[in-house]
Structure 1
């Protein structure tokens, strides 16, 4: 059952989140409810799209690259003349974040066990006349858990590298998925749809070039940013092959040398997923 009658123009909801798995979950659910849906993967995209007009509601994460969700929400709620409903969906639960949302007039929904129920309540608050149909849509019945934080997939056959980077990513508000080779990494990328993939260059069962080619020729993973982490200097030909587009899709976003100094790697990650702090 859809929320809106066939002759009605359904509201347009813009979903802004740098985690593609969350974007897909929300987009699928809202589409089934009868809403029109568009998506953005970072703060600037969201800001640009709302400025173009036609967006009725914004579902926005806080930790996003380029502009965080709170900054985007504050600007839009102050400067957009037409009514705009904002729901801030985040893993944060600190009092300051909740108070900031309240002060802006945005609704706060925490990513966690009660996410779908709380999101349903927020939608009912925005569209009270459609409350019964929103609830009938089955939003609450989904058993799919929503990740609280952005996730990075690390593919490397060295467990010491995994342990080293996992601890630093965790301190920056990023969860780490791990695979020991290209074959496992491909399967995990298809299943989990991480925000970013960091891959060693030389691995069992396929190097980074092989891995990247498989990702770019698979619909579910074709647009996931791909960072190559290498312990040796690559030849010019190898670098060119990694940066070259594949089937019209972008190649590697960056090639980074392995080092105890994670500044370059985390600088690259800042472009693709929000970090709470810089952990060089």
Structure 2
């Protein structure tokens, strides 16, 4: 029999693809919105480049469609800024332009555009191009490969061959630049030449393996030397594998896939251990207090229901479920005489209770696989009107934290506590509804109400 969580997850609607449309002409917005109307796409209209760049990290679009000629930042500048930022570089960009000149089109692709459409265009053409670009994006892999070589020819051959397999490729021309990119780009694998100016491959590898941030990255040495002496130097430096020149792209891909398979296996083991630890921590927290036993599980259940009603992806809902199970983990460090006190708390004791989101975030900080859920735990006691613990307001509060706030409040209101009796479910719903726009996010309350009414 499926659990409530599995039933909700398996019945989720397909989430809409988000498209940011940047054009200073209202008529273009109307035409494209009409062409892409329906349940597949959500259009975010922007009318100039600067505001689009400012909001792109907040919107997180699946595709950007931009005109070239606009006041302020033009489309080429917008495209270059998107592609030069590591947080947005993977977002495909489609350029719209009245210019059909080959030189202008070449400038568009040189700026990093994935597609170019000339005006006027038909509705069928825009739909076809959007579907094509999004389909190609789906087939791209998330893994990043860093190639370091002082030969432009070698870099070009490797980049073209590896990119065709769907990998994201980052390049550097020497060890110094490679080390910087290893630190900032967090590649999954490094492929580096040995004989390079400034810093050779052995020294580059040694520095990669000496840094806590990069030491786990597999290092593949590209060399024409296969002598025992070179292998000895490589072993001491920390090189994981060798590629002897001349090489084939097929052999390069085999080595990449081997290391990625090993990494996936390690991550699965770590995830299983992490989930077991999470379950134990959540259970220990709930068992500590008879009043809040099952609180974490209840909050997780309500959180999943609200998130699914909003239409979040399965991946995001799973993150929220974990965040809900651990949202009060910071209370583990609070003394029993404060946590279970029946009388009114002193200002100092109340301050200690208020610190539990921050303490919870600190407890989880060392676990890399939980980094995405930490903001939800840290900000789940913020209030929509800005009167919460850290003063965040509105949509500056992460959506996951806003959902958690409603789920947490409902279970708290309908559960006995040492200092008060629970309220009836109808009264709890009324209290939450009355605080929509004040304590709680209106959209989260609206979706919570749908669940309660059903």
TM, length-normalised to structure 1: 0.42
Q: Which protein has the bigger helix share?
A: 2
Relative contact order: is structure 1 or structure 2 higher (C-alpha 8 Å, sep ≥ 6)? Answer: 1
Q: Which protein has the bigger strand share?
A: 1
Q: Work out which of the two has the higher radius of gyration on C-alpha atoms and give 1 or 2.
A: 2
